[in-house]
Structure 1
Amino acid sequence: MPEQNIARCWFNGRLVNPAEPQISVYDHGLLYGDGVFEGIRFYHRRAFRLQAHLERLQHSARAIALAMPYATDALAAAVDEVIAASPLDDGYLRLVVTRGAGSLGIDPRSCAQGNAFIVADRIGFTSAAQRQAGLSVIVAAIRRLPTDGLDPRVKSLNYLNHVLARMEATRAGADEALLLNAQGRITEGSGDNVFVVRRGELLTPPGIDGALEGITRGVVLELAASLGLPAREASLAPYELYTADECFLTGTAAELLPVREIDGRALDICPGPVTQAIESAFSALIARECGEPAETAA
C-alpha cells in the first residue's frame, strides 16, 4: 500500500489525494492493459532526465496509436507540480496514460478520452543490505515477449511476463530474474537492464534482442564513453553472464545494482572496479543535473 502521508497524485489536470481518483471499471487500461507509462526519479526536488522520459512516453503512445490527452509541456509542468507538493526531496514518479473508458471488448474505438495520472512516492526496489552485498539473480524460465509480437521499446501497462519472472525469482530465493528471448539470448531483468564486463569491455543486450531502451541504460553508456571505457550493445547468452568479470543492473527504480551471483554461480568480485567507476560517475551526474542536497549546496 502507498504511504498516504507522503504520496502525492496529479489526475487529469489537478492535484488530488491518492485515494481520490476514480478510474472507470470500463477503462481499457484496467481491462486490457491498454496504455503506457514512465517511471521517473527525482533528486533534490528535480526530475532526472525528464525530457527523455516524456519523449519515450510519446513514442510508446504513438506506437500503439494512443492519442495523448495532454501535451508534453503540460505533463512536464504536472511533474513539477507533483514534486513541489510532495514532502520528499528524493522519490519516484509513476506517470500513466490509459486508453480511457470504452465498451467491453478490445476494440478501442469506443474510448473517447484517455486518462493521465502521476503519483509521487518512494519505491522500495531493494534493501540497503542487498545493494551493499550485491544481488542474487536467476535466469527465469518465463520468456520475454518476442519483438515481432510487441516491440520492447513500448512501455505498455501489461507487465505480466515480468511479474511472473519476478515471482519465479522470489520462489527461488533470488533477488531478481533475467528473461531470455525465444532464441535463448538475455533480454533484461523483470524491471531493469543488465550489463556485464568481459575482458575490460562493458556489454548490454540490444533492443532487437528484447531489451527496453532504458533511460538509465543510456546514461550508463554515456558515462562509459566519458570515462574511456569500451562499451557496446551485444547479444548475450547465459554463458556470458556466468563467465563475466562483473555484472550490474540498471533502471529508474533500480538505479545501479551490482550482481554477486547468477544461477548460483558466484562472480569473482562484486562490486567490481568498472561497476564502482560507473556508480561514482552516475552519482556525480545526478549532482550536476539535479543539484546537491540543501545542506551541502550552501
Structure 2
Amino acid sequence: MTGNAITWLNGDLIPAADARIDPADRGLLLADGLFETLLARHGMIINLDRHITRLTEGAAILGIPLPLSATGLRAAASETLAANGLHDADRASLRITLTRGPAGRGLALPATPQPTLIITATQAPPAPQGLSVMTSSVRKVRTSPASALKTLNYTDHVIARREADTAGADEALMLTEQGGIACATIGNVFVMSGKRLLTPPDDGAIRAGITRADVLTLAPDHGLTVDEAPLSIEALRSADDIFLTNSLWGICPVTELDGTRRQTTDATKKLAQALDDAWASLIC
C-alpha cells in the first residue's frame, strides 16, 4: 500500500498511515479472526457475495459478531475501492479483515466483543504466467477445526513460504499428514492427466477456495472428468500438467516443480481462458 492509501476501519475511511488498532486486539495477539482476499476489475468485485458468505459462516463458527450486514459489507468494499482511486482499475486487490477486537490478557473471550473490521484496497499486478514450485516439509493437520477456515493464523503457510524462498522457488506445496499433497501456501492444487482433472478433497486439510469451486464447475463443460481424491507426490510428478488457483490469479500454471521444468497443456490454457471469460462476464 502506498502512503496515500485509504483504509476502511470500523466504519471510517481514513489514511492508512493514520489507521490504528488497539494493542489489545485479539487479531494481533492471538490471530483470533478471519480474512478474505478479493479481486476487483473495473469496479466489479469478483464473487463478492460468495466471499461475504464465507466470512459470515466463518465468523459464526468462531462466534465473532459481524458489525455489518452483507449489504453494508458490499457498500464498504466499493467505497474503499473508490476512495483509493481504483473503481475503474483493470485489476485491484481488496482484503477484508475481521477480528474479535480488544480484550483482556489471556484466552478468555470478552463478554461483549467489539470486533475490528478493516478493508484495504491496492492495485493488483498481473497474474503470473507460471510459477516455480517446491514441495515443502510442512504438513496440514486435517483434524484441526481451524484448517478449513480462512483464519489469521497463517504460521504453517509462512514457514512453507520461507522454505520456498530459501529454495529459490515462487511457491510451496504443503503436505497432508499422510504425506500427500494438500495445498499451496496461497492456493489450491490441481493436476491434469489426460482428460482427468484431479484435486485434493475438501476433507479438512485444505481451505477449499472459491476459485477452486469455479474450476470444478467449469471443467465438465470442457470435456474434463473431475476427481476430488487424495493426491500423492508421485501422481503430481507424473501428471501432464499442474496448476494452482486463487482469487487473484484465477488459474496459474506450475512451470517448474522441485527444479524440473514442466509444460502447460492446451487443456489447462483453455480452462484458464474459460475462467477468465466467466469472471469478465460479471463486469458487463
Where does residue 4 of structure 1 map in the other structure? 3
CA distance in 2, matches of 1:170, 1:188: 17
CA-CA distance at 1:189 after TM superposition: 0.4
1:187 aligns with 2:182: yes
Q: TM-score when scaled to structure 2?
A: 0.94
Where does residue 110 of structure 2 map in the other structure? 109
Identity %, equivalent residues = 37
CA distance in 1, matches of 2:153, 2:112: 18
CA contact (8 A) 1:99 1:111 kept: no
Where does residue 135 of structure 1 map in the other structure? 131
1:199 to 194, 203, 216: 194
Alignment of 1:117-132 (within 5 A): 117-123=118-124, 131-132=128-129
CA contact (8 A) 1:135 1:175 kept: yes
List structure 1 segments (4+ residues) > 3 angstroms apart after TM superposition.
none
CA distance in 2, matches of 1:106, 1:123: 36
Alignment of 1:140-151 (within 5 A): 140-144=136-140, 146-151=141-146
CA-CA distance at 1:222 after TM superposition: 1.6
> How many equivalent pairs are there?
281
Any gaps of 5 or more consecutive residues in structure 1? 292-298
Alignment of 1:269-284 (within 5 A): 269=263, 271-284=264-277
Q: TM-score when scaled to structure 1?
A: 0.89
Where does residue 13 of structure 1 map in the other structure? 11
CA contact (8 A) 1:241 1:262 kept: no
SS class of match (2:16): coil
CA contact (8 A) 2:182 2:206 kept: yes
* CA 1:100–1:228: 2 relative to 1, 3 Å: same
Where does residue 155 of structure 2 map in the other structure? 160
CA distance in 2, matches of 1:8, 1:257: 30
1:84 aligns with 2:79: no
Where does residue 250 of structure 1 map in the other structure? 245
Any gaps of 5 or more consecutive residues in structure 2? none
SS class of match (1:19): helix
CA contact (8 A) 1:187 1:209 kept: no
CA-CA distance at 1:72 after TM superposition: 1.6
Where does residue 208 of structure 1 map in the other structure? 203
Where does residue 99 of structure 1 map in the other structure? 100
Residue identity in the other structure for 1:254: W
CA-CA distance at 1:110 after TM superposition: 4.8
Deviations 1:202-256 (A, max 9, x none): 1111121512110111111122123232123111011111101001111013332
SS class of match (1:249): strand
CA contact (8 A) 2:64 2:113 kept: no
CA contact (8 A) 1:143 1:179 kept: yes
CA distance in 2, matches of 1:151, 1:207: 13
Residue identity in the other structure for 2:147: P
Where does residue 62 of structure 2 map in the other structure? 64
Where does residue 52 of structure 1 map in the other structure? 50
Residue identity in the other structure for 1:83: L
CA contact (8 A) 2:142 2:177 kept: no
Deviations 1:272-292 (A, max 9, x none): 11210111112211221023x
CA distance in 2, matches of 1:26, 1:142: 30
CA contact (8 A) 1:151 1:210 kept: no
Where does residue 288 of structure 1 map in the other structure? 281
SS class of match (1:74): helix
CA distance in 1, matches of 2:221, 2:109: 45
SS class of match (2:113): coil
CA contact (8 A) 1:102 1:111 kept: no
CA contact (8 A) 1:181 1:209 kept: no
CA distance in 1, matches of 2:51, 2:31: 20
